[in-house]
Amino acid sequence: MQPIAIILPVFNEEGSLASLVAHIDKALKRAHIPYSIIAVDDHSTDKSLSILNTLRDSYPIQVLTKKGKPGKAYSVLEAAKHTKSDILCMIDADGQYPPEVIPEMVAKIADHGVVVANRKNYNGSFIRKIGSRSLAFFFGRLLLGIHCDMQSGLKVFHKSLLNFIQPKDIGPWALDLPLLHAALEMGYTIGEVDVVYQKREHGTSKLSFTSPTLQIAKGAVKLKLTPSRPHYIQPVEPSNMLGAGVIHKRQRFITHTTLHDKHSAMKTFTSGQKVFIASIATIIVAGLLLNALLTVQIIVGILSLVYFIDVIFNFFLILKSLHSPPEITATPEELSALQDNELPIYSILCPLYKEAHVLPHFLKAIDKIEWPKEKLDVLLLFEEDDTASIDAVKHMKLPAYVRTIIVPHSMPKTKPKACNYGLSLAKGEYVVIYDAEDQPDPFQLKKAYLGFHKVGPQVRCLQAKLNYYNPHQNWLTRFFTAEYSLWFDVILTGLQSIETTIPLGGTSNHFRTTDLLEIEGWDPFNVTEDCDLGVRLFKKGYKTAIIDSTTLEEANSNLKNWIRQRSRWIKGYMQTYLIHMRDPVEFAKEQGIHAVFFQLTVGGKLAFILINPFLWLMTILYFAYNPYFGATIESLYPSAVFYMAVTSLVFGNFMYIYYYMIGCAKRGHWTLIKWIYLVPLYWLMVSIAALMALYQLIVKPHYWEKTNHGLHIKKNAAFL
């Protein structure tokens, strides 16, 4: 059992010290608990100090003479600096608390942050009793959610709690409340042990009623008004991030990353962003009240300008992509020249959740990979509560290069959290993420390996292209395949050609393991962690390149399932945008023109998805019900705005449809091109998913909307 340090604040307690120390020694020796006593004499005017020095001959007591401010709270803090014990116990020296309960409290501390000795009786005046109970109810229970005897003079607690307490929150007699509040803020619970509070036999109380009461009340209000700040949990070993996490708003998150909260989606909106959004909303409402027509004209003008810029930007991007495709390629001769004995270990992370039914297909696909099997390190990452999948895999005969990893239960329960856990256990020099339904190009690892040797040191990620192996399953998979063909075969290569931010795909992104550890892995709170990681890489001065290799996935064939998946993706893009726009001025200074590209690639796309349905409705009303709405809608578009809007409507939509055709043609999906004329229906579904994403961003930002995979292998699968 680990030793415990008993802190004894002393001021004029000569009559109770010898008996109290003897009882502490007897109780702890009987329980076989190693201990030491640190007595802090607060300049007593009686014989307390000489008695303590005498007791040192018989008991393990360290006697300190107070150097800091007077008061019990400062005595406890001063004593804590003189011990290496992780478990501390503070007990009043007046002999009113029974030391016999300390062993029971020590036994409970393993499950709690603080264990409090609850006084079941009160030996004092009626007024003090009522005052104490009132303080506990109003300032402890109602204000701070503390449901125990917060003023108890006997507590056992973890020493680490003192690091969380701000000096400004402490008064001479006001340590108890900050200590209990810190325990709750750090995600601990408070344990309790009932005690009989003895009547004081020696000396008199050193406290008046008024001063401590005012200190406690003032401290409670200050704690309530102080914003909660994250507390970081250090990894088990400094060499990796295993066990690292963060405590925030009384919740403990084991995320297996040391990523700072300012780079994370743990907090959705900053105070500045909330003020900005509220200010814009106020200005719009005020404008509508003062001059509705002018206000709407300004809004429409801004939107039309952004749409027009986006049309030009995408045209430029497509031209760059088609004129000089920048994919990293590998010739058959280069691939065949690689010697197995020269290749390093390559780790493959495969996060799964309730997907055991697709695992045989994944293992079959991995078996086809052209890489020496003795140098493959495949980690199947199962969540601890996914008992069905864990039981199922136990009955499978797994290859020697496949490891089953159980990710310990912790929040948030997300794919990036599981990948961070796997990253800390990966053996490979290189690492790649594959989803359970993936069918990667058999030569993809070799192409990535060669790719890293062809690019400069600034390229920290190689993204393989993604497409689908079930494009013709139904109309939804056709649109989905066309969308992916455009995004991965045209748009991303265009972004690479202008050397700007590349939002990563959720799978088939390859890294050097050391590089990924350097940038602290994935954000476990971001539900589209791939997009965020791509932006974070670029902001650190690194680059992403596209390799000419394709991983085939399963196109979602169920509409409800597709909406859940798409809403999660869009919510993650929203999180990513908010993270990297926490300091927009600094972002613009550092990134220059690339900050504009980020706005168009991420921010603008999100805005368009949400706004498009309203503009489509306005267009339909204008043409279908012109006698009723024509004049009103025309009044919203001054001449310059009108020409930009018409250009975006006619040429912009035509070009976007044409881009989809280019993507399908480049991928060889010729039979899908005729379906592209109906793609506006698909855009409408994307907008519906975006509204869901916006709602979830506000009410449950970290909720991972589970996508069901393996629908293509189920008989009679339907999309509705």
Span 453-488, pLDDT tens digits: 999 889 999 999 999 999 999 999 999 999 999 999
Pairing of strands 114-119, 190-195: parallel
Span 314-326, pLDDT tens digits: 999 999 999 877 8
Q: Residue 281's pLDDT band (boundaries 50, 70, 90)? A: very high
Span 53-111, pLDDT tens digits: 999 999 999 999 988 888 888 899 999 999 999 999 999 998 889 999 999 999 999 89
Q: Residue 565's pLDDT band (boundaries 50, 70, 90)? A: very high
Tell me: pLDDT of 617 over 80.
Answer: yes
- What mean pLDDT do residues 219-225 have? 74
- Tell me which of 176 and 18 has the higher pLDDT: 18
Q: Which residue from 76, 58, 56, 78 is spatially nearest to 67, judged by alpha carbons?
A: 78
Task: Give residue 200's Cα distance to chain centre.
Answer: 51
- Residues 635 and 685 grouped into a single domain: yes
Whether residue 268 is contained in a domain is answered as no
- Residues 297 and 204 grouped into a single domain: no
Q: Give me the residue label for tokens 């979830």.
A: 696
CATH code at 190? 3.90.550.10
- Residues 565 and 710 grouped into a single domain: yes
- Residues 179 and 253 grouped into a single domain: no
- Residues 236 and 157 grouped into a single domain: no
Whether residue 157 is contained in a domain is answered as yes
Q: Report the share of the chain in percent with pLDDT over 70.
A: 93
Compute φ and ψ for 649, nearest 5 degrees.
-65, -50
> Tokens for 566?
């798409």
- Other residues' Cβ atoms within 10 Å of the Cβ of residue 251: 13
Span 515-537, pLDDT tens digits: 999 999 999 999 999 999 999 99
Q: Which residues sit opposite 87 in a β-bridge?
A: 4, 158
Q: What is the pLDDT of residue 149?
A: 83
- Residues 240 and 191 grouped into a single domain: no
- What mean pLDDT do residues 674-695 have? 95
Tell me: pLDDT of 716 over 50.
Answer: no
Q: Residue 208's pLDDT band (boundaries 50, 70, 90)? A: low
| Host domain of residue 133 | 4-223
Dihedral (C-alpha) 100, 106, 109, 113: value to the nearest 10 degrees?
70
Domain count, the chain: 3
Could you tell me the pTM of the whole model?
0.84
Compute φ and ψ for 91, nearest 5 degrees.
-140, 135
Q: Give me the residue label for tokens 């990353």.
A: 257
Q: What is the pLDDT of residue 720?
A: 34
Q: Residue 715's pLDDT band (boundaries 50, 70, 90)? A: very low
Alpha helices by DSSP H, listed for 226-336, are: 271-323, 332-336
Q: Residue 177's pLDDT band (boundaries 50, 70, 90)? A: confident
- What mean pLDDT do residues 536-549 have? 94
Span 354-368, pLDDT tens digits: 888 889 999 999 999
- Residues 242 and 149 grouped into a single domain: no
Span 682-692, pLDDT tens digits: 999 999 999 99
Span 417-441, pLDDT tens digits: 999 999 999 999 999 999 999 999 9
What is the chain's mean pLDDT, rounded? 89
Whether residue 499 is contained in a domain is answered as yes
Q: What is the pLDDT of residue 718?
A: 40
- Residues 88 and 196 grouped into a single domain: yes
Whether residue 315 is contained in a domain is answered as yes
Span 224-253, pLDDT tens digits: 777 778 888 889 888 889 999 998 888 889
Cα-Cα-Cα-Cα dihedral sign, residues 148, 149, 155, 161: positive
- CA distance linking residue 406 with residue 379, whole number of Å: 10
CB 568 within 8 A of CB 693: yes
DSSP for 683-706?
A: HHHHHHHHHHHHHHHHH-TT---P
Q: What is the pLDDT of residue 717?
A: 41
Q: What is the pLDDT of residue 599?
A: 94
Half-sphere exposure of 298 (CA within 13 A, CB side): 9
Whether residue 108 is contained in a domain is answered as yes
Task: Give residue 460's Cα distance to chain centre.
Answer: 22
At which of 223, 238, 273 does a domain end? 223
CB 75 within 8 A of CB 44: no
Tell me: pLDDT of 138 over 70.
Answer: yes
- Residues 647 and 666 grouped into a single domain: yes
Whether residue 608 is contained in a domain is answered as yes
Q: Residue 1's pLDDT band (boundaries 50, 70, 90)? A: low
Which are the contacts of 284, defined by CB distance < 8 A and separation ≥ 6? 295, 299
- Residues 123 and 250 grouped into a single domain: no
- Other residues' Cβ atoms within 10 Å of the Cβ of residue 153: 18
| Residue at 627: amino acid letter | P
Q: What is the pLDDT of residue 206?
A: 56
Whether residue 358 is contained in a domain is answered as no
Dihedral (C-alpha) 70, 74, 75, 79: value to the nearest 10 degrees?
-150
- Residues 591 and 714 grouped into a single domain: yes
Tell me: pLDDT of 172 over 70.
Answer: no
Q: What is the pLDDT of residue 173?
A: 64
| Residue at 660: amino acid letter | Y
Whether residue 600 is contained in a domain is answered as yes
CB 11 within 8 A of CB 41: yes
Q: Residue 9's pLDDT band (boundaries 50, 70, 90)? A: very high
- Tell me which of 377 and 197 has the higher pLDDT: 377
Q: Which residue from 101, 98, 102 is spatially nearest to 6, judged by alpha carbons?
A: 102
Number of residues written out for the chain: 720
Q: Which residue from 462, 457, 464, 413 is spatially nearest to 442, judged by alpha carbons?
A: 464
Is the preceding omega at residue 701 within 30 degrees of 0, hence cis? no
Looking at 146-150, 292-296, 495-499, 669-673, which range is the least confident one? 146-150
- Residues 146 and 247 grouped into a single domain: no
Q: Residue 129's pLDDT band (boundaries 50, 70, 90)? A: low
